[in-house]
Structure 1
């Protein structure tokens, strides 16, 4: 398994708030996917998409993006054919809010991870609701691990002995839920940091999370994780 990272230059056509950018990026990616029948079907299927994207870098001091200025958006995936598709089809894609320019690709090297941490909010729901409302941190941890295991099984077809620690330490950097606009509603997420163990299963899942995202709604820009090697 390899994690591919694509970096694209992009421009907004109007001043845009930082927190609204993910939904706009998702729309232009959706348009690119719908350029071919194969990926239009892929887009419509209710299944793991195995890609995730960051918010454009670098926002202005007031947490906005200015029209006409160049920013960089990163997309990661563990699917080599999807990475190639994005590299070929995303440049020139646009909506009435933004357009994507040139891009480049690299592989995120798989080395021993010290930790991974979220740049966009991780969305975890327990029994269909935001976990903090009626559930414990244990429920959050259980859902986070189960979600990554399901992605791994779906991607590889391999089963793992699940009796292992996914990480040594979980830290939250937010004191209240982080709002994520999504299709006219607001989802709630969290900014987290996971200190890795050296167990090969932990390392493999956390590396995979760099390309698939952690938690839910990753193809909508949630759960984009950065990393630090040992």
Structure 2
């Protein structure tokens, strides 16, 4: 049987996402402060921490835990990031409802579901200096790995590598959306905060899933 993990580990997996965002609160705000309002880390940590308190002590499926994360972000984060990340996570959740185990192909669909949901509310894409510069290459890496018959752990490694490369690419991009777009060429030379937070999330998701893989 192919590698897979149990969807019953949802609380622990989403708890790991909460931990990485809360731990990087100051760093994310520092990155955002270079060309934005400087509150990305504050807002993200607020929403994720709320989710952490909500799921604490509960045994939720991955879809249920992602639902709670969606609600916390939609209701607790100001600006655009609440709806954006909320859409991402609800799209992921919808791909694994009533799915007891998740294999590599299903994980690729989970990522694609998140991206598709996000694309319902934004036209942003690769090259716009935003979280899409991280997310889209990571989703494509997962789908390519699934198509090529890679093992689940190989897929996770490729997702992390693509996310990191996408994040780093934003340093050499001019912002085309959001408040940073007003800076024009002055937005060059720094990372995009959304791309950074998305990379943290995808990397921690992969790192949380990997030790839970069973054959």
Q: TM-score, normalised by structure 1?
A: 0.28
Higher helix proportion: 2
Find the structure with the greater CA-based Rg: 1
Q: TM-score, normalised by structure 2?
A: 0.29
Higher strand proportion: 1
